Amino acid sequence: MKAKLEQIKVSALGEISADGADLEQLRIKYLGKKGELTAVLRGMGQLTPEERPVIGQLANDVRAVIEEALGRRTEEMKEKAMAARLLNEKLDVTMPARRPLVGHTHPLTLVQRDLEDIFIGMGFSIVEGPEVEYDYYNFQALNIPEDHPARDTQDTFYITDKILLRSQTSPVQARTMEAQKPPLRIISPGRVYRSDAIDATHSPLFHQLEGLVIDKGITMGDLKGTLDVFAKKEFGEDTRVRFRPHHFPFTEPSAEVDISCFACGGKGCKLCKGEGWIEILGAGMVHPHVLEMGGIDPSVYSGFAFGLGIERIAMLKYHIDDMRLLYENDVRFLGQF
């Protein structure tokens, strides 16, 4: 009987591992109710009580081995069948994709959001002001009285004698000082207007970002420090900043600010016209008259202000050589940002 069991085991394993084996058929043949192993077990009654447990154990072992082999073989064949199917389902992965449409941010907005985030990180809030503005806020409250020669540098669009299209974002400084008390730490991005004919580098409408800080003990060193952080965050950690004396009626001292060219690192290249430096903004310490007109006591408070052109930064950063592209809104252009 022992030999019979051994023989069943050997033949079952052989048949199971054979190519093209019908596993269900084999399970019935060996393990089914009328199967060979069952038939052997049925003959257990003829055994002696001593033999019975030994043979029983052996029969169970054989059953387990066959079951295990059947299971393994079933898995194998499933895997094989799936592999064959998957092979059949092969795709040409180089074929074009079906992409969901994604809209693109306008480059001016990209730059503006960047700048906003940099200054928000330094504790600045964003304040907005009207584009159609009183002459008073655009000029007079900024220490530029009527018929002051400084008005010549900004050809202004007028609506009436007293109302104009703001030529700078600086009127927001004057409005903020009137409306809020120090400490002030604000930026104000927005549209400004100047009577410049449209060409590759001029537009009658462009965007500026104004900054204003007023508090006790604000120094010109603080202005430099703030603009240092701005330049490094916006143009890269190696960017250096330099100040040149200048004149703005609403700041004193005033400066024009250059950054080291982020394309060549200051060695001189096409972008910086060989200078190594790029003029980027105007800044200065808020003029005491401007503080006074805003109702802030210049003997207690001091502050600084700065203003930069968003188009200029976008054009430098993304190497846009014609300002008109920014307002043409060709999707082939927009899609690159």
Partner 1 sequence: MNLSMKWLADFVSVEDVKIHDFCEGMTYSGSKVEGYEVLGDDIINVVVARVNKLERHPDSDHLFICQVDIGSEVLQIVTGAQNLFEGAIVPAAIPVAHLPGDITIKAGKLRGVESNGMLCSMGELKLTSHECPGKEENGILILDDCFADKLGMDIREALMLNDTVVEFEITSNRPDCLSVIGLAREAAVTFDRELKLHTPEVKTAGDGDKIENYLKVGIEAPDLCYRYAARIVKNVKIEPSPMWMRMRLSAAGVRPINNIVDITNYVMLEYGQPMHAFDYTMLDGSSIRVRRAADGECFRSLDDQDHVLDSSMLVIADEKKACALAGVMGGANSEIKDNTTTVVFESACFKGTSVRVTAKKNKMRTESSARFEKELDAENCLPALDRACELINLLGAGDVVDGVIDCYPTVKPEVKIPFEPDKMNKFLGVELTEEYMISVLEKLDCKVEGGFVCPPSYRGDLLCMNDIAEEIIRIYGYNNINSTHIIAETTQGGRTAKQSFEIALENLMYGMGINQIHTFSFISPKYYDKIRLPENDPLRNSVVISNPLGEDTSVMRTVALPSMLEVLARNNNFSNENVRLFENATVYIPTEDIEALPLEKKVLTVGMYGNVDFYDLKGVIENVLELAGVAGVKFTACTDNAAYHPGRCASFSVQKNGETVNLGLLGQIHPAVASDYGFDKPVFCASVNFDELWDAADMTIDYTPLPKFPATTRDLSFICSKDIEVGAIEEVMVKAGGKLVETVALFDIYEGANIGEGNKSLAFRVTLRAADRTLTVEEAEKATKKILKDLEYKLGLKLRS
Q: Which is nearer to partner 1, 4 or 247 (CB)?
A: 247
Q: Which is nearer to partner 1, 30 or 134 (CB)?
A: 134
Q: Which is nearer to partner 1, 15 or 228 (CB)?
A: 228
Binding residues for partner 1 restricted to 11-50, rule: CB under 8 A: none
96 binds partner 1 (CB under 8 A): no
Q: Which is nearer to partner 1, 51 or 228 (CB)?
A: 228
Could you tell me if 297 and 307 are in contact, meaning their C-beta atoms sit under 8 angstroms apart? no
Read off the tokens for 330: 């060709």
Could you tell me if 57 and 5 are in contact, meaning their C-beta atoms sit under 8 angstroms apart? no
Could you tell me if 205 and 192 are in contact, meaning their C-beta atoms sit under 8 angstroms apart? yes
> From the list 215, 269, 317, 318, which residue makes contact with partner 1 (rule: CB under 8 A)?
215
Read off the tokens for 71: 């299971």
Could you tell me if 191 and 207 are in contact, meaning their C-beta atoms sit under 8 angstroms apart? yes
Residue type, 208: Q
| CB of 182 vs partner 1, minimal distance in Å | 9
Binding residues for partner 1 restricted to 220-239, rule: CB under 8 A: 220-222, 224-226, 228
**Per-position x/- string for 265-304, each x denoting binding to partner 1 as judged by CB under 8 A, each - no binding:** --------------------x-xx-------------x--
| CB of 330 vs partner 1, minimal distance in Å | 6
Question: What is the spatial distance between Cα 175 and Cα 141, in angstroms, rounded to a whole number?
Answer: 9
Could you tell me if 203 and 196 are in contact, meaning their C-beta atoms sit under 8 angstroms apart? yes
Residues 6+ positions from 106 with CB-CB distance below 8 Å: 326, 329, 334, 337
Binding residues for partner 1 restricted to 136-195, rule: CB under 8 A: 146-150, 152-153, 157-160, 162-163, 165, 183, 185, 191, 193, 195
Q: Cα 153 to the chain's mean position, in Å?
A: 38
Binding residues for partner 1 restricted to 249-268, rule: CB under 8 A: 249, 252-256
| Binding-site size, partner 1 (CB under 8 A) | 85
